[in-house]
Amino acid sequence: MTTAGFAAAPVFEQLETGLEIGRREIAVTRADLVRYAGASGDFNPIHWNNDFAVGVELPGVIAHGMFTMGAAVQLVVDWAGDPGAVVDYQTRFTKPVPVSDTTGTDEPGAVLEIVGTIGALDADARTARVDLAVTCAGQRVLTKAQAVVRLA
């Protein structure tokens, strides 16, 4: 049995559609959104200013869709063992991820739940499509989240 994070690279011939590659939970705080804003250059105030977000008819501060997309694919990267193996990655953003203000506590403002499953295999290209189910508080926040991984 291999330890998570040091698992051997997946072998194309050992994969089949429907196989679960892994699952994880990601805790999200307002500080994470500020960090993502700085790193990405996306300073839309709906991701850090509650009054502004409410003023444009949102439920409150919401996570950047691109934060959720970028964090969710890490399950796939860790499974593949190589960030450059993800040759294609797409999603639709179906529901916002509201992040409560838990500043000063150890509580997350939201929790993302991610499950990855092999959705399709292409023997000619030696690629596997991993379908990601991404939910927050029981609601699916991404749909058609698919990462195509090139395997050795």
Partner 1 sequence: MAINPDLQGRVYPPAEAYDVAREKIREFARAVKAGNPAHFDVEAAKSLGYADLVAPPSFAIIVAQRADAQLIADPDSGIDFSRVVHAEQRFTHHRPIVAGDRLTAELHVDNVRAMGGGAMITTRAEIASESGEKVATTTSSILVRGEGQ
Positions in the binding site for partner 1 (CB under 8 A): 5, 26, 32, 35-36, 38-42, 44-46, 52, 56-57, 64-67, 69-71, 73-74, 76-78, 81-84, 86-93, 147
* Least distance in angstroms from the C-beta of 75 to partner 1: 11
Query: What minimum distance in Å lies between the beta carbon of 114 and partner 1?
Result: 11
State how far the Cα of 58 lies from the Cα of 113, in Å rounded to an integer: 22
Query: Least distance in Å: CB of 65 to partner 1?
Result: 4
Q: Which of 106, 85, 109, 84 is nearest to 96 (CA)?
A: 109
Which residue, chain included where needed, has tokens 């399950």? 75
Q: Which is nearer to partner 1, 16 or 56 (CB)?
A: 56
The nearer residue to partner 1, 65 or 116, going by C-beta atoms, is 65
Pair 64, 47: CB distance under 8 Å: yes
**Distance spanning both ends of the chain, measured CA to CA:** 21
| Amino acid, res. 117 | T
Distance CA 111, CA 99 (A): 9
| Closer residue to partner 1, CB minimum distance, 58 or 121 | 58
CA distance 90 to 151: 18
- Token pair belonging to 57: 């008819």
Of the two residues 64 and 118, which places its CB atom closer to partner 1 in the complex? 64
Q: Give me the least distance between CB of 16 and partner 1, in Å please.
A: 24
CB nearer partner 1, residue 78 or residue 117: 78
Shortest distance, position 9 Cβ to partner 1, whole Å: 10
